[in-house]
Amino acid sequence: MSLSLHNTLGRRLEVLSPLEPGHARLYTCGPTVYNVAHIGNLRTFVFEDVLRRHLQASGLRVTQVMNLTDVDDKIIRGATEKGVSLEEFTAPYTEAFFKDLKRLNVEPAERYPKATEQVPEMITLIETLGSRGHTYESEGSVYFRIATFPDYGKLSRIDLSQARRGERVADDEYEKEDVKDFALWKAAKPGERSWASPWGEGRPGWHIECSAMSMKYLGSRFDIHTGAVDNIFPHHENEIAQSEGATGEPFVNLWLHAEHLIVDGEKMAKSKGNFFTLDDVLGRRDDPAAVRYLFLSVPYRKKLNFTWEALGAAAAAVERIRAAAVRIGELAASGAEKPGAYPIEERSEEFRRAFDAGMDDDLNTAEAQGALFPYLRDVNAAIDAGALGAKEARLARSTLERADRVLGVLPVAPEVLPSEIEAQIEARNAARKRRDFAEADRIRTELAERGIVLEDGPGGTRWKRK
Ligand SMILES: [Zn+2]
């Protein structure tokens, strides 16, 4: 494989070379579960899914960790206002998040650690930073002294001349120009949910969460860390300071960031009435695959302009892909024999190369999608001309399915039912009785492609799942 990815650290394309051969380790910042994700958030999660799927399609094992931030300023405020526990407050939003991922056909990560379940690891990391001289305490809170980390700013290229010694910021999220010491541990305010620590009752800051969890599950150094562009500063800058401050080693090889989604050319805002959740969008057009397709129609490093027209065009594109898949599938399941006048092998190989070239070029999903339609057009034309048989159609089908392992817009093949298999075995026995061995073989091949293996024995034909 030769996958080039744009590294925010250094602002250049780099070829991925996993630290452990054959295994890509990936950390993707997860949601803060204090509200329902908007479609801009979801664009980032779909980009990360495409990254994951392409790594797998390239033959790599992937270990992906995504944190769930279930304690921070906003969550504590929200839970207090509603008079409920943190768990009661965050549970419905966590559930909504996973429902959205499922509808957008996002494959699950290997782990989804919750911040509230990893507090001891965060305390240990803060202690390590303390022993290396990176922290100071003030009124029960612990801060990272950025002046002790000379590399501070290397990811975001923030203007360090704005930094004023000793000034600090206690909020989890703060202004872009605030180059200040940041909170690792925050002293509990009266009535707040808190944890015991060497510095008294309190709770971890947001940034330390991702350093602690990524290092726990992926090791102190790993391959890829992703997020949205607004994570670059302060969140990811702070993660680097915490992790490299603690280990003295490089933290992450490649930092990838997805650009914003805008609506009708404008930034999303509740006040402008252009702020959409997935439910809002599906309320107008109930086609999650079209939303996913639209997200992929623009490379992740470009701003995506969401419009209803663009969603309509995406829905039409998905419809064309599905219609072609059905047509190819029917021919593949038929007994049609053709001399193979159409060079399907060469054409499929040409498409695969174009598709992979797009994906390997910093996940250029627009280029990969663009390669698909000429291929489907050619296959359709060959079917019209009677130039494809079942065998050729099976190759076209597997070529399309391979592309869809990344695109993820086709429905997953329905589970084969035992009654359906029994009927097929019966049809095959009948074909063998009339010495139609071509038909018998076709049925066996078709079932094999659906994961069903037939075994002929003295007691008749038995089947099992592969
Ligand atoms: Zn994070």
Condensed to tens digits (0 to 9), the pLDDT of residues 279-309 reads 999 999 999 999 999 999 999 999 999 999 9
The CA 338 to ligand 1 mean position distance, Å, reads: 56
User: What is the per-residue pLDDT for 391?
Assistant: 92
Kindly report the backbone phi and psi dihedral angles of residue 312, in degrees, each rounded to the nearest multiple of 5, phi listed first: -60, -40
The CA 35 to ligand 1 mean position distance, Å, reads: 17
The CA 126 to ligand 1 mean position distance, Å, reads: 16
The CA 44 to ligand 1 mean position distance, Å, reads: 13
Condensed to tens digits (0 to 9), the pLDDT of residues 100-115 reads 999 999 999 999 999 9
The CA 69 to ligand 1 mean position distance, Å, reads: 8
Q: 115 with 94: CB under 8 angstroms? A: no
Residues in the chain: 466
The CA 267 to ligand 1 mean position distance, Å, reads: 23
User: Across residues 193-212, what is the average pLDDT?
Assistant: 96
User: What is the per-residue pLDDT for 416?
Assistant: 66
**CA nearest to 71, candidates 86, 56, 58:** 86
C-alpha separations of 39 from 228, 268, 294 in Å? 13, 9, 11
Contacts of 255 by beta carbon, 8 Å cutoff, 6+ apart: 7, 8, 9, 155, 224, 225, 226, 232, 236
What percentage of the chain reaches a pLDDT higher than 90? 81
This prediction has a pTM of 0.88
Condensed to tens digits (0 to 9), the pLDDT of residues 65-87 reads 999 999 998 999 999 999 999 99
The CA 238 to ligand 1 mean position distance, Å, reads: 10
- Cis before 339? omega within 30: no
Query: Is the model's pLDDT at 418 over the cut of 90?
Result: no
The CA 210 to ligand 1 mean position distance, Å, reads: 5
Condensed to tens digits (0 to 9), the pLDDT of residues 431-441 reads 999 999 999 99
Condensed to tens digits (0 to 9), the pLDDT of residues 308-319 reads 999 999 999 999
The CA 254 to ligand 1 mean position distance, Å, reads: 15
The CA 156 to ligand 1 mean position distance, Å, reads: 15
Condensed to tens digits (0 to 9), the pLDDT of residues 214-250 reads 999 999 999 999 999 999 999 999 999 999 999 999 9
- Average pLDDT across the chain, whole number: 93
The CA 381 to ligand 1 mean position distance, Å, reads: 49
User: Across residues 161-171, what is the average pLDDT?
Assistant: 77
The CA 344 to ligand 1 mean position distance, Å, reads: 46
DSSP-H helix ranges across 205-362: 206-218, 237-247, 278-284, 288-296, 308-332, 344-360
